[in-house]
Structure 1
Amino acid sequence: MKATKWWQNTAVYQIYPKSFNDTTGSGTGDLRGITEKLDYLKDLGAGALWLTPVYPSPMVDNGYDISDYTGINPQFGTLADMEALIAEAKKRDMRIVMDLVYNHSSDQHPWFIESKSSRNNAKSDWYIWRDAKPDGSAPTNWRGIFGGSAWTYCAERDQYYLHTFAEAQPDLNWENPEVRAALFAAANFWLDKGVGGFRIDAITYIKKPAVFEDGTPDAADGMVSVHDMTANTPGILDFLHEFRREVFDGHDIFTVGEANGVSVAELPDWVGENGVFSMLFEFAHVLVPYEEGECWSKMIPWKLTKLKGALSASQAGVAKEGWYPIYFENHDRARSVNYFFPNGGDTRLAAKALATVLMTLRGTPFIYEGEELGMTNVRWDTIESYDDISSHGQYELALKEGFSPAEALSFVHFNSRDNARTPMQWNTSEHAGFTTGTPWLPANENYHTINAAAEEKDADSVLSYYKQIIRLRKTNPVLLSGVYEELLADNEQIYAFSRTAGNRRIVTAVNFSAEEAALPAGFLKGVRLIGSYADAPSTVLRPLEAVVYEEEVK
């Protein structure tokens, strides 16, 4: 195997700064709060910390609407706080990874304020502007990701602007070389500050089709998802190769793109020596309840073979070239112990089961804050209790589809992004030890039993299991370089796979069901490296049991 890079042999920990640790009593997490917890993260085994956006922002979409790409939002601190965080992390051999949101800016960004002021200013074509249809309606019937039209009318120009996401997030015009140069300069600003890489948000939307036209409606509102009309448009890779040349090349960093719309077959064009990013987040495995589009009211029951097939396809896609970022949670998804185990069960065992898969697949594991504690979804009583903009859009869409308010709210309970955004659960003090003030979003009420302080003292906790299995992954070369092969592919209870390097073979077996699951005779051989039950299994895996074995092969 080729020499591995630092980011291939570490675990990345994603931080949602607003909900991580508040040192001022404002109710909002801050950069000093992250610095304060660096030793906790080092002890966990993290080697890189990806921060969701901390730039100045009106916070319409919790920081993904950026009004200054080279500043720090005062609610998170100062540029000096950011520099201190980078330096303190480096002392602990950890790197800070920034989130680049380059498909769109905030509508409060000076670029957009100038662009919308007239049709003939210096930045008039820095965004996507189109005339109305002859009847005065929006240029196309595209629905934004958060619901409603993807177009908003601007009186100053008597035109509509495109926003793939919220009205306050106008799409930038990547066809304009001045736009690209400005974005690349901002990324280089952060490289000069010493960051260790970038996660690139919603990047598959930056290239728009040459002709904008209506699509076939896919719901009762008469609209079609903008994703189906613009994602991964041919020509996008030309922009991204330029991005790589102007920013990434020549630096010891990693880049990971959020690439909803890129198929496994296309992965070689996106990652590896000839690709544009170090890694690419895929979505197939987290979209198992959906057949087409992520419409929460259209979820369907799914079989384990669908999840296994998606993960195996991703492993195969980067087997020869490239590298895979493994994840089950992030700031846009529900908590994994609820999402992947919709029928319930012991959430501690569920968390350990997913951790076992996360840490033994080939690739770099990404842990989302609180995932290492087994944090769970919340269930608030009203839609008004939810802050997440997409939850409100999906709730309204469900009502239009004919569902009752109670049914619409149940979809929000299961899928809301707020599930991942409740405050980090540090201890049993008020608001889970996150803040001495009033938290911007309420803490999950189960923080009295699920919290870092308690789990650090419990050898059988989810946190203790994460520490053990991260250490195992870092110290066992088979888990870094070993070839992946799926086992028991047709089994609807067990996800099993092997990793083989030289004469060593590691087998992971995880029971995703709440019943015992039989194993073939002699399936688990050699030495048990780790398991989620205290003792070793026999010929069956107990409910939600996960085990990892290593053997010598000839």
Structure 2
Amino acid sequence: MQSKKWWQNSVIYQIYPKSFKDTNHDGIGDINGVIEKLDYLKELGIDVIWLNPVFCSPMDDNGYDISDYMDIAPEYGTMNDMDRLIAEAKKREISIIMDLVLNHTSDEHPWFIESRKSKDNKKRDWYIWRDPKTDGSAPNNWRSKFGGSAWEYDERSGQYYLHVFSKKQPDLNWDNPEVREALYEMIHFWLKKGIAGFRLDAITFIKKSDMMDDFPSDSSDGLSPVDIGTLNQPGLLEHLHELKKKAFNQDIFTVAEAPGVLARDLPDYVGDNGVFDMLFEFGHVDIDLDKDGKWYKPLDRPLSGLKKVISESQEVINQIGWSPLYIENHDLPRSINHFLGQHVDGPIPAKLLATFYMLLKGTPFIYQGQELGMTNVNFPSIEYYNDIASIGQYKQAVEEGYSEEEALKTIWRRSRDNGRTPMHWDNGNNAGFSEHEPWLSINPNYQTINVQNNLTDSNSVFHYYRQLIQLRKNNEVLLHGSYDNLMPDDKDLWTYTRSLGNEKIIVILNFSDKTVPLHLPSPININETPLLIGNYSAENNEPMETNLLRPFEARVFQLKSEN
């Protein structure tokens, strides 16, 4: 079991600073924009801000290619601005956690610049270099996560370096103790500034296999997924436990992005005997992807599959630890389209999803704009897209025979830029994000879906999130109660309970776009049971029918003790 911690009663708000609020009129969001909107976040009711990378970076991957861990990118401001953000947030009882990339750096980081100078450079072994094959080709046929070979040839030294992601993101060699010590020193630098912890990016990639043989290709490009030799490799947990011991040895909060970790493996990663406080799982958000994560080959994602993935995770969390609850982030499309369909929008479906995930066991994460019901955007051509992964997937789809129109539609559905379009603050020019043309185009629906409209409408998605946050904080059963999935085979309804001692709350969700009958298993009876919250209750004057659920309806009841 995991002992109770301060962050278990928190709600975390993720900010992608490039798209949050621009204050210096260059079309790019900045740290001062975050400071300007702290009171808005306080009104929402959040406790912690997860700030996406603001370190110095050439921005090949929007800041996940770091060239200096101990300085701020000029686009975002200065170190003085960062210090002021930490202080101003603290005044409002809001903590800051930073996004930390430990798997790789930018190829413009001083460490890599030294490493590539020569084979005998002191920092050569800080990265992963290999000789070419006898025919001059790459050491093996691994495909990078962003497409193309995971190996980049360096003319100057005659070797290849490994990059799981972009060729401008060379992977660090975690088997070198000097690398690890340098990273630990950097972590302590930030903790001394008063941040509350870290979100760890792609942490399960840090340990690489020594196996460099050929692997069967899975596509016409002759390459095989890089995961086979870089994800969850033997020795990973040894590195992670040292990271915890030497860098995370104080009362901070850590949550890791850990692709490849299954629910059954969670005890090794989270809890008092694990490494991190929480671990992001991907089963529920990647349920529509094929085994290699390709967007352009979408799989069916029936509700039963989503329920199964979430319920398996919740059952493990019941026993051993805590879970981050999320349905959106900077790497995902907007949840309303992701889970309910590309053509679905409006406050009712947005509130359904909010109810579904905010009342599970764990700590909720809200991604910027999610609390407004922001949706995907359908840009007219690939030229409008900035995301390196989207462009790579588009090119690969076309190379495999998809038409440009077909390839673009898959980008509409799954592009990371769906979640990166600038925040909608009002219905004015550029949605109130900037007085300058934004770095990424605004979603055209900003005139109806924006902060200004949400704040003035008491029935808005924003105010519904506020109610859910208060409901969680005022009910111990929603914090520490166990999860139980009812009617797991129902194709339209998701019904689950949270139980603690004699208290029980039931969450009833209609994931379909039609009215469906409700038949709860005996002995549960919701007649004359208090409705705690519902996404239709304040929308219209229609009487609620006990045994019918309207399209995308959500209801939450406090069950009587005899139930």
> What is the TM-score with the length of structure 2 in the denominator?
0.97
Who is 2:63 aligned against? 63
Who is 1:400 aligned against? 399
CA RMSD of aligned residues (A): 1.2
Gaps of 5+ in 1: none
**1-structure distance, mates of 2:135, 2:509:** 58
Say whether the 8 Å CA contact 2:2–2:272 is kept in structure 1: no
- The letter for the 1-side match of 2:62 is N
Per the alignment, in what secondary structure is the counterpart of residue 165 of structure 1? coil
Say whether the 8 Å CA contact 2:2–2:271 is kept in structure 1: no
Who is 1:538 aligned against? 546
- C-alpha distance after superposition, 1:346-365 (max 9, x if no partner): 43222111100121000000
- C-alpha distance after superposition, 1:202-242 (max 9, x if no partner): 00100001221222212221111112332100110100000
- The letter for the 1-side match of 2:489 is D
Name whichever of 322-331 and 312-321 sits farther off: 312-321
Say whether the 8 Å CA contact 2:336–2:344 is kept in structure 1: no
**2-structure distance, mates of 1:212, 1:3:** 42
Alignment of 1:141-540 (within 5 A): 141-250=141-250, 252-342=251-341, 344-520=343-519, 523-524=525-526, 526-534=529-537, 536-540=544-548
- C-alpha distance after superposition, 1:41-82 (max 9, x if no partner): 011011000011000000000000000011111110111111
Say whether the 8 Å CA contact 1:144–1:226 is kept in structure 2: yes
- C-alpha distance after superposition, 1:260-291 (max 9, x if no partner): 00111110000001100000000000011124
Q: 1:514 to 1:158 in 2, by over 3 A?
A: same
Q: CA deviation at 1:136?
A: 0.7
**2-structure distance, mates of 1:124, 1:3:** 43
Say whether the 8 Å CA contact 1:507–1:524 is kept in structure 2: no
Alignment of 1:5-154 (within 5 A): 5-154=5-154
- The letter for the 1-side match of 2:519 is P
- C-alpha distance after superposition, 1:326-366 (max 9, x if no partner): 10000000001111112633432221111001210000001
- The letter for the 2-side match of 1:94 is I
Name whichever of 425-434 and 337-346 sits farther off: 337-346
Per the alignment, in what secondary structure is the counterpart of residue 296 of structure 1? coil
Q: CA deviation at 1:4?
A: 2.5
Q: 1:46 to 1:141 in 2, by over 3 A?
A: same
Q: CA deviation at 1:311?
A: 0.5
**1-structure distance, mates of 2:395, 2:11:** 38
**1-structure distance, mates of 2:77, 2:158:** 39
Please identify runs of 4+ aligned residues in structure 1 that moved more than 6 A. none
- The letter for the 2-side match of 1:542 is R
**1-structure distance, mates of 2:417, 2:534:** 31
**2-structure distance, mates of 1:226, 1:261:** 13
**2-structure distance, mates of 1:253, 1:444:** 37
Who is 1:551 aligned against? 559
Say whether the 8 Å CA contact 1:202–1:259 is kept in structure 2: yes
Per the alignment, in what secondary structure is the counterpart of residue 243 of structure 2? helix
Per the alignment, in what secondary structure is the counterpart of residue 495 of structure 2? strand
Say whether the 8 Å CA contact 1:485–1:499 is kept in structure 2: yes
Q: 1:160 to 1:365 in 2, by over 3 A?
A: same
Q: CA deviation at 1:116?
A: 0.4
**1-structure distance, mates of 2:255, 2:401:** 39
Per the alignment, in what secondary structure is the counterpart of residue 169 of structure 1? coil
Q: 1:537 to 1:169 in 2, by over 3 A?
A: farther
- The letter for the 1-side match of 2:526 is L
Name whichever of 16-25 and 536-545 sits farther off: 536-545
Per the alignment, in what secondary structure is the counterpart of residue 494 of structure 2? strand
Identical aligned residues as a percent:
52
Say whether the 8 Å CA contact 2:455–2:462 is kept in structure 1: yes
- The letter for the 1-side match of 2:427 is T
Q: CA deviation at 1:552?
A: 2.6
**1-structure distance, mates of 2:224, 2:346:** 37
**2-structure distance, mates of 1:241, 1:260:** 18
Say whether the 8 Å CA contact 1:256–1:277 is kept in structure 2: yes
- The letter for the 2-side match of 1:85 is L
**2-structure distance, mates of 1:260, 1:537:** 42
Gaps of 5+ in 2: 538-542
Q: CA deviation at 1:524?
A: 3.1
Name whichever of 342-351 and 65-74 sits farther off: 342-351
Say whether the 8 Å CA contact 2:337–2:344 is kept in structure 1: no
- The letter for the 2-side match of 1:527 is P
Per the alignment, in what secondary structure is the counterpart of residue 310 of structure 1? helix
Q: CA deviation at 1:523?
A: 4.8
**1-structure distance, mates of 2:179, 2:345:** 50
Q: CA deviation at 1:3?
A: 5.7
- C-alpha distance after superposition, 1:391-432 (max 9, x if no partner): 111011111221111001111111111100000000011010
Say whether the 8 Å CA contact 1:329–1:335 is kept in structure 2: yes
**1-structure distance, mates of 2:442, 2:560:** 47
Say whether the 8 Å CA contact 2:345–2:375 is kept in structure 1: no
**1-structure distance, mates of 2:2, 2:114:** 49
Say whether the 8 Å CA contact 1:215–1:229 is kept in structure 2: no
> What is the TM-score with the length of structure 1 in the denominator?
0.98
Q: 1:137 to 1:342 in 2, by over 3 A?
A: same
